[in-house]
Amino acid sequence: MQVNGVVHQKVGKIVERKGEGYMKGQLILENGMVFEGKVFGETGQDVVGEVVFNTSMTGYQEILTDPSYYGQIVTLTFPLIGNYGINVEDIESNAIKARALIVKEPAKLPNNYRCEMPLSAYLKQHGVMGLKGIDTRALTKVLRDVGTMKGVITTRSLTQKEIKERLSNFSNKEAVDRVSTAEKYELIPSGEESCHLVVWDFGVKKSILNHFLERGCKLTVMPKSATYDEIESLNADGLFLTNGPGDPEDLPEVAQIVKKLSQTMPIIGICLGHQILSWAFGGTTTKLKFGHRGGNHPVKDIRKDRVVITAQNHGYVVDTLPQCMEVTHINVNDKSIEGMAHKTLPIMSVQYHPEASPGPMDSLYIFDEFLNVVKGGHCD
């Protein structure tokens, strides 16, 4: 069949566009809404995940490779994505961790001196599906009004029974197990060693590790399955609880170990690590309606009486502050807790991402405050 000079060929219920890898696809949300577009990157199996949105204008490769996005279908609200391509230097892990990517328009001809491949080729290389041609801002409005939902991206006509089965079978409870390191490993700073940190890996970003290394920290990275005895036997100067995916309430055994370790060593945490600390000391967390994801979230540092613009990626927040903790940071938009510190013990955490990858860089000072706590100082 020929339309407007372009040859189309029907393959079952899929329409391919010769020479452009064109294939119709659709996102089906669990509330029944359907967004139609075209798939790019990997075009094989149906993809099921939690549909979220991120408001960052840049940093798509950091977002895709951030282990905190494991199990999620990421919608980018900025209309043109991929204009500077992909480079391997800025990736945050060894592979794409997001389930799929939804964009309005992927750039066809990326142009940057660091570009090593286009976005579509990178998705294809890692077997990840992309969906383009979607009105991503309309989709974002739906997620803001209704809340985060599960969704299916498919190139086929699915029955209601098939859709229901795929959505009900999806679970992200084992997310941390999937993204944590399988074995212990060490990272040594290039310069003078300032301290030794145990990094309890729940899905850590490479850039976070690099910030500690730049500050002279020797890092011993432990898997999620690490025990109290294994961590304690390292005789480290402090424990760092990393970022990661999923619900912190699914990690009660980790919280118990953290509570025990708090009596013997300083502890610092980012994002999921912050939430785990809350559970360890008797606090609780709750799921946000649509989460905080992007590079433009204002946070007030109460101690410094200043507002910084932060990068964020979380669906859960601390809603009941432990009695032994005090709030150090507040989200300006919704007043949720963005940081806390123990009243008597050397323990500090933040909900947002101070590593500024992909940005902004307002909060890099948090790493210095972390190390001040580890070395026996204070977080202010």
pLDDT of residue 35: 97
Is the pLDDT confidence value at 4 over 50? Answer: no
Distance CA 235, CA 43 (A): 49
- Report the pLDDT value the prediction gives residue 44, as an integer from 0 to 100: 82
Q: Is the dihedral of CA 237, 243, 249, 254 positive or negative?
A: negative
CB 379 within 8 A of CB 372: yes
Summarised one tens digit per residue, pLDDT across range 95-146 is 999 999 999 999 989 999 999 999 999 999 999 999 999 999 999 999 999 9
Looking at residue 6, its pLDDT comes to: 30
In this predicted structure, what is the pLDDT of residue 379?
64
Q: Confirm if 67 and 204 have CB atoms less than 8 A apart.
A: yes
Percent of all residues in the chain with a pLDDT value above 90, rounded to a whole number: 90
DSSP result, 151-205: EEEESS---HHHHHHHHHH---TTHHHHHS-SS-EEE--SS---EEEEEE-SS--
> What is the rounded distance in angstroms from the CA atom of residue 148 to the CA atom of residue 126?
25
Q: Cα–chain-centroid distance for residue 372?
A: 26
pLDDT tops 70 at residue 260: yes
Angle between helices 272-280 and 252-261 (to 10 degrees): 70
The catalytic site residues sit at 271, 353, 355
pLDDT tier for residue 359 given thresholds of 50, 70 and 90? confident
pLDDT the model gives residue 45: 86
Q: What is the pLDDT of residue 238?
A: 97
Q: What is the pLDDT of residue 110?
A: 95
Q: Hey, what amino acid is at 141?
A: K
Q: Name residue, tokens 């294939």.
A: 23
pLDDT at 276: 98
- Domains of the chain as residue ranges with CATH: 9-171 (3.50.30.20), 176-374 (3.40.50.880)
Arithmetic mean of pLDDT over the chain: 93
Range scoring the smallest mean pLDDT among 42-46, 233-237, 334-338: 42-46
Question: What pLDDT score does 198 carry?
Answer: 98
Residues 371 and 369: their CA atoms lie apart, in Å, by 5
User: What pLDDT is recorded for position 18?
Assistant: 41
- CA 231 to chain centroid, in Å, comes to 25
Q: Residue 149, class by beta-carbon neighbours within 10 Å (0-12 exposed, 13-18 middle, 19+ buried)?
A: middle
